[in-house]
Structure formats: C-alpha cells, structure tokens
Amino acid sequence: MFAKAKDAFAHWVMFDLGWTRVANPGARIRLGQVVAVEVCALALWSVNLSRIVDVANEPERFGFVYATTPLHAEEGEERFLLTMDPATGQVRYELEAISRPRAWLARLGYPMTRSFQHKFARESHARMHAEVAR
C-alpha cells in the first residue's frame, strides 16, 4: 500500500480533483522543482507556482514541502507527507499548509480562500484514499 501511495504522489494524484490539477504533471518530486498548480475558483482558472524546498524519501516516509513563489496568490508552504507504520503497515497521508494571502484578490476573498484550502485538504485525502484502495 505504501508503494502505491508513493506512486500516486509521484503522479500528483492528490491534486487531481477536477477543480485543481498540476499543470506540469511530468514534474518530479525533487529539490528545486517548480510545481504549477491550476485551480478553478468561481469558474475562473488560475495558475500558482511553488518550488519544492524539502524532500523526504526514506523507507517509512515519503513526501515534500513546497514554498510559494512570487507568482503565487498565497505566501507560505505546504507539506505533503506519507508515513507508514512498520508494525501495522498502516499508511497515513499528512497535509499541512501555512499561508497568508499575497495577491490583492486573495486578500479580498480571504474567507473564501480559506474555504477552498479546507476543501482541497478534504478532497485530496479522499482522492488518495480512493487511489490506494483500487
């Protein structure tokens, strides 16, 4: 199950939600890699760029942290981490975001922005669960 979850991460499945996706799906999880995330909010698509600043690739941990670039509506970091309990084989997907609005539109719509962030977390977890359960 851990190998399947790692493969899903490598193919950016956690972003494949219909209203959000990785625009450069060939991007690799490696230090310095820029990831372009497309988001549809209120029928408008936008692209936000982040750079991977940390990578975990260990037998029981896999994931990355990316930091927003100046070409991102938000300012902050997100951590995407898979862990596996060696005793039980249970796999866990952790998603943590620390951000604040950067663009004036994001500031203006901050409550809505936060709502979309929470929606992303819920749907990303559900998408990963469905992918690994297949």
Query: Kind and range of the H or E element at 36?
Result: strand 34-41
Domain extent at residue 108: 2-133
Across the range 1-22, mean pLDDT stands at 97
User: How much is the CA Rg of the chain, to the nearest whole Å?
Assistant: 15
Burial of 87 (0-12, 13-18, 19+ CB in 10 A): exposed
CATH of residue 20's domain is 3.30.530.20
pLDDT at 109 over 80: no
Average pLDDT (17-39) is 97
Give the model confidence (pLDDT) of 114-131 as tens digits.
888 999 999 999 999 999
> Which comes out higher in pLDDT, residue 115 or 77?
77
| Total domains in the fold of the chain | 1
